[in-house]
Amino acid sequence: MLSVFAQADIPDIQWLPLIPHLVMAGAAVVLLTVVSLAGNRLPGWFASAWTVAAGLGVLATAIPVWLRVDQEGPSSTIAGSIGVDQFSVFIIVVLACTVILTALVADGFLHRESLDAPAFYVLLMLSAAGGITMASANNLIVLFLGLEILSLAVYVLVAMHLRRAESQEAGIKYFVLGAFASAFLLYGIALVYGATGSLNLIDIEGILRGDELGDNGLLLAGMAMLLVGFGFKVAAVPFHAWTPDVYQGAPSPVVSYMAAGVKAAGFAALLRVFFAGFGPVADDWQPVIFGLAIASLAVGSMLAIVQNDVKRILAYSSISHAGFILVGVQAATDDGVASVLFYLAAYAAMAIGSFAVVTVVSGPGDEGTGLDSLRGLATRRPLLAAGFTVLLLSQAGIPFTAGFWAKFEVITAAVDARSFWLAVIAMLAAVVAAFLYLRIVVAMFLDAPDPDAPRLRIPRGPALAITIVVLFTLAFGIYPEPLLNLANDAFLLITFTAPH
Amino acid sequence: MGSSTVLPAIIFLPLVGAAAIALIAPSRSTVLKPVAVATSAATGALTLWLMAAFDKHDGGFQFTQFAEWIDSAGISWHVGVDGISLFLVVLTGLLFPIAIVACDPPHDAKAYYIWMLVLETGCLGVFLALDLVLFFLFFEIVLIPMYFLIGSWGHENRKYAATKFFLFTMLGSALMLVGMLVLALLTARETGNAVTFNVLELANSAGELPTITARWIFLSFVLAFAVKVPLFPVHTWLPDAHTEAPTAGSVILAGVLLKLGTYGLVRFGLYLFPEASRYFAPLLFTLGVIGILYGAVVATMQRDLKRLVAYSSVAHLGFIVLGIFSINTEGIEGGLLQMVNHGLSTGALFLLVGFIYERRHTRQISEMIGLQKAAPVLAAVFTVVMLSSVGLPGLNGFVGEFLILAGAFVAHRWWAVVAAAGVILAALYLLWAYQRVFHGTPDDTNRSMPDLNWQEKLVMAPLVGLIVFLGVYPKPVIERMEPAVNALIEHMEEVEGFESPTVDDRPEGSFEELRTLKSDYGDEGEGH
C-alpha cells in the first residue's frame, strides 16, 4: 500500500503522524456510509459505540507519534504543511477524549429527545477531525481548512435540535457570526501573505526572524485580523457576544464539545500561528493578548453573576476561562505554552462534566436549564450533586482539583514573564467567578428541593462520563505531576526536518 | 530529629475518620457520632503525645517529614512542628473533640461529621506544613468544609454569611498565591537555584530579594492573613459568619480558624520577610490597636449575645497582632500564648452561648434575665470563662495580655497605653452583658431554663481546667515556645542586621521590673 504512494510524484509524506487524522475523519465517513446502507437495522447504541471506538483509536495511534517525536524531535510533513510535534499530539489527545466523553453524554440525550442519532456522531467526528488539522497545521491555508471543517460541523450540531426554536436561532446566530469571523481570518491570512510572501508558518517565522518587519502595516493588520478570527473561536472578549446565546440554545452535549473541543482547537491554532509563527514579533501581539485577557476575565466573571440560567452562567464562565488561558498565551514562553495545554486538558474535563450534568438535569426538551432546576439536587441525587460540586470547585480553582493546578501553572507562567499585574487581575477575576460557582452550589445544597420535581433519571452514558471527569479532576488535583510533565514535554517547535 | 510519621498520622487521621463515616450505611446512623468522636479524640491524643515528646530545648523544627511531590514545580510534602506551631496543633486537637461532643446536628448528621473531620485535617495541615504551596492548599481547602458547615447547619441568614465568608477569605488568598509565586520564582532567579517552595530554604535566602519587591510580596501575604485574622478593616465577614454558624462551627471558627491568620503572620510574615515585617510593623500594630478599640466599642453595642462574643474576637485578635508586630520575644510569645488562650476562652464562650440558645431559642440579650437563679452551674462556668476573656489575673487571659503589653510597651509605648484601655473596655462589655443576662429576677420563661447536663459539664470541664491551669502555671507552654521564638528573632536579626528592641536595652532601665515581673511569674508558677 505504502509503496504505491511512494512511487507517485507527491511530496515526501510521513504516514505515522497522519494516522490519527485519518482515523478520526475516516471513522466519520465510514459511519455515515454504514448508517446510510444499514439504516434502521443497526442497534441504537451502535453510532455512539462507534464514536467511542474511533476516539480510542485516535488515542492509540497518537501514542507512537508522541514516542517517535520524543526520540527524533519535531518535524513537518506534506511539504511542511502538517507539523509533527508533541504539542499537536497533546491537543489531538484532548480532542479525542472530548469526542469520547461527548459521545457518552449524547447517548442518553439523543434518545430522550428522539433526534437523528448517527448524523450527530458523524458531525462530531468530522468537527474533531477539523480540530486535529487546526492543531497540527503549519500552513495558514491548511489551518483555515481545518477551522472551516470544524466550524461547519458545529454550526449544524448547534441547530440540531429540530423542535426547539432556540436551537435554530443559536445555529443561525453562530453561523452568521462565525462566517464573519472566518472572513476576517481569511483576509488576515491574505495580508500576512502579502507582507511575508509565504503561507507556511515555518517560512514566516524565518522571515520575521531575519527581517525588521515588526512595524510593517500589512503584517500588523494581518495579525489583528487573525486575532479576530481566533478570538471568536475561543470566545474571548470582545468577540464573545455569541457565546451565551449559542450555549443556551444549543443542545447540551454539543455545548460540552464546544466548550472543551472547539476551545482547545482554537487555542492550539492561536498558539501555532502567534507563538510559533509570529514568535519573533511577540512584542507586537503580546499587548493585544494582554488586553483580550483582561477584558475576557472581567466581562466573563462579572456578567456571569447576573445570569439565572445555568447554561448562560457556564457560558460566561467559559469566557472567563478563555481569559485565564490567554494569560498563559500572553507569557509567550515555553512554560506559558505548557500551562495553556494543562489548562485546556483540565478545563475540558470540567466543561464536559458540567454540561453533562446540565444535560441530565434539564429534562425532556432540554428546557430545564434555569438555576431553579438544580434546587435541592443534593437531596434528590446526592452523588450527582457531589460530582458537580467537584467540577465547579475545580472551575473556581480550589485546591486538590485539577483546576487549581491549571490556574497555578498559568499564573506561574505570567509571573515568570513578569506580567505581575495581569496575574493579580486574573486572580481577582477568579474570586469574582467563585461567587457564581457558589451560587450553583447554594442552589444544589442549601435550597430546598421542589416537591413536585420529577424523579431524575441518569442514563448510563452521562453517568460514566461524569464519573471519569470527576476522577480525572480529583486525581490530577492531588497528584498533577504526570499531566504537568506531559504538558511540559509538549514543546511547540515548528521546523521542516528533525534537528539532528 | 529524623523523619517521623507522627505528623502525617495527625493530619490524616481525621480524614480517615471522615472516609469511614462516609461508608457507614444510612440505617446505622447511631454510630456516626461515636466514630467522629473517637477519631477526633484519637487525633487529640496524638497531639498530646506530640507535646510530651517535643524537645523543649530545641528551637528548630522537630518530627519533620519530607517527600518529593510535584518535583517539576518545586513543591514537596514537607511537614514539621516547632514551638510556634506546637500549641496550635494541640489546641486544634483538643477543640475538635470538644466541639463534636458538645453539639449534635439537627439534620444530615453524616455530612456534618464528615465536614467537621475534613475541617480538622485542613487546620492541622496549615499548622504543620513547611512548604509554601502545601500550606496554601490546606489554607484554602479549609474554606470548603466551613462553607458547608455554616451554609447547611447555620441560623436564618446562613447563605449570606457562608458566601461572604468564602469570598472574603478567597479574595485574600488569591493575591497571596501571586505573591507566593513571585517570591519563589524571583528567589530562584536571584540565588540561581531551582524553584522551591520549601519554607526553610526561602527563609534562608530571605535577604536576597530587592527590598521593594519583598515589601510588595509581604503585603500580598498580609492581606490574606489579615482577612483570616481578621484585622480591621477587613473583619466584616466575621460577625456574620460567627453569628450564623452552628455552635460547633463558631467554636472552631473562633478557636482555630482565626489562628490560621495570626499563625501565618508569624510563620510566613516575620520568618520570610524580616525587613518588610519591620517596615510595615507600625501599620499592622496600629490596625491591631484600632481593632482592639473598635471591637470593644462595637461589642458593647450589641444586642445579640453571640454577635457580642464575635466582636470580642476582633478585639482579642487585635491584641495578638499587636504582640506579634512588637517583634520581640515578649510580644511574640504573648501573641502565641494569647492565640491558645483565645481559642480556649472564646471557644468556651461560644459553647455556652450555644447551650443558652438551645434552651431559650434566642440570642437576644434583652430577652434573657436572671439566668443565674435558673442555671447556677452554667452561670458559674460563664463567669470563669468571661473573666478569662477579660484578662483577670490568675486566669490564662491575663498572662497572654500581660506579655503582649510588655512587649508592645518596649517597642511602641503609646500604642501599648491605648491598647491597655482596650482591656478596660473588655471588662465593660463582658461584665455588662453578664449582668444583663444572669443577674436580676428571672421572668417566667427564664425561670424554667434547665441547668447544664452531665454531658455539657463534661465538655466544659477541660476548657475551664485549662483556663485556670494556664493562668496559674503557664511555664510548660512558655518554655516550649521560647527557643523557637528566640530562633525566629535571631533569624530576623541575622537576615537584615536589625536589633530587636528588648527590655534590657532600654536606656531608662525603667522597664527592668517588667522583665523581673515576667520571670517572677514563671517562678511563682514553679512553686506550685
CA distance B70 to chain A (A): 5
CB B48 within 8 A of CB B136: no
- Select the residue of B72, B170, B185 nearest A431 (Cβ to Cβ): B170
The pTM score is 0.91
Contact partners, residue B434, CB within 8 Å, separation at least 6: B382, B383, B386
Chain A residue with Cα closest to B170: A431
CA distance A429 to chain B (A): 9
The pLDDT of residue A211? 75
CA distance B170 to chain A (A): 6
Task: Tell me the one-letter amino acid at B375.
Answer: A
Give the containing element (helix H, strand E) for B81.
strand B75-81
Query: B166: which chain A residues are within 8 Å (Cβ-Cβ)?
Result: 434, 438
- Select the residue of A400, A430, A446 nearest B174 (Cβ to Cβ): A430
d(C-alpha A117, C-alpha A456), whole Å: 23
Touching B: A residues 372-411, CB under 8 Å: 393, 398-400, 404, 407-409, 411
d(C-alpha B201, C-alpha B218), whole Å: 17
pLDDT tens, N- to C-terminus, chain A (500 residues):
555 555 556 677 788 889 999 999 999 999 999 988 887 788 878 888 999 999 999 999 999 999 998 888 888 888 888 988 999 999 999 999 999 999 999 988 888 888 877 889 999 999 999 999 999 999 999 999 999 999 999 999 999 888 888 888 999 999 999 999 999 999 999 999 998 889 999 999 988 888 777 668 889 999 999 999 999 989 998 999 899 999 999 999 999 999 999 999 999 999 999 999 998 888 889 999 999 999 999 999 989 888 888 899 999 999 999 999 999 999 989 999 999 999 999 999 999 999 999 988 887 777 778 888 888 888 888 899 999 999 999 999 999 999 999 999 999 999 998 888 999 999 999 999 988 898 898 888 888 777 777 778 888 889 999 999 999 999 999 999 999 999 988 888 888 775 44
CA distance B178 to chain A (A): 6
Say how many CA atoms lie within 13 Å of A323 toward its Cβ: 31
State whether residue B159 sits within 8 Å of chain A by CB.
yes
State whether residue B65 sits within 8 Å of chain A by CB.
no
d(C-alpha B121, C-alpha A154), whole Å: 46
CB B143 within 8 A of CB B170: yes
Residue to substitute from B146, B157, B178, B197, interface A, most A β-carbons within 10 A: B178
Grid coordinates representing B154 are 447555620
CB A182 within 8 A of CB A147: yes
Is the backbone peptide bond immediately before B274 cis, with ω within 30 degrees of 0? no
CA distance A233 to chain B (A): 29
Residue to substitute from B23, B68, B72, interface A, most A β-carbons within 10 A: B72
Touching A: B residues 86-105, CB under 8 Å: none
CA distance A182 to chain B (A): 37
Place of cell 462507534: A50
State whether residue A431 sits within 8 Å of chain B by CB.
yes
| Closest by CA position to B292, among listed B403, B416, B395, B392 | B416
pLDDT digits (tens, 9 = 90+) for B367-418: 888 788 888 888 889 899 999 988 888 888 888 888 998 888 888 888 888 8
> Exposed/middle/buried for A388, CB within 10 Å: 0-12, 13-18, 19+?
buried
| Residue B193 CB coordination number (10 Å) | 12
CB B232 within 8 A of CB B294: yes
State whether residue B170 sits within 8 Å of chain A by CB.
yes
For the cut 80, the answer to whether the pLDDT of residue B514 exceeds it is no
All structural domains of chain A with their residue ranges: 10-489
Query: B171: which chain A residues are within 8 Å (Cβ-Cβ)?
Result: 428, 431
Chain centroid to CA A299: how far?
A: 20
If you write DSSP's letter for every residue of B118-159 in order, what string do you get?
Answer: HHHHHHHHHHHB-BHHHHHHHHHHTHHHHHHHHHHHS-TTHH
Contact partners, residue B420, CB within 8 Å, separation at least 6: B405
Strand A82-84 and strand A75-77: pairing?
A: antiparallel
If you write DSSP's letter for every residue of B183-250 in order, what string do you get?
Answer: HHHHHHHHH-S----BHHHHHHTTTSS-HHHHHHHHHHHHHHHHHHTTPTTS-THHHHHHHHS-HHHH
Query: A435: which chain B residues are within 8 Å (Cβ-Cβ)?
Result: 163, 167
CB B64 within 8 A of CB B131: no
Query: B110: which chain A residues are within 8 Å (Cβ-Cβ)?
Result: none
d(C-alpha B210, C-alpha B221), whole Å: 17
| Residue A212 CB coordination number (10 Å) | 8
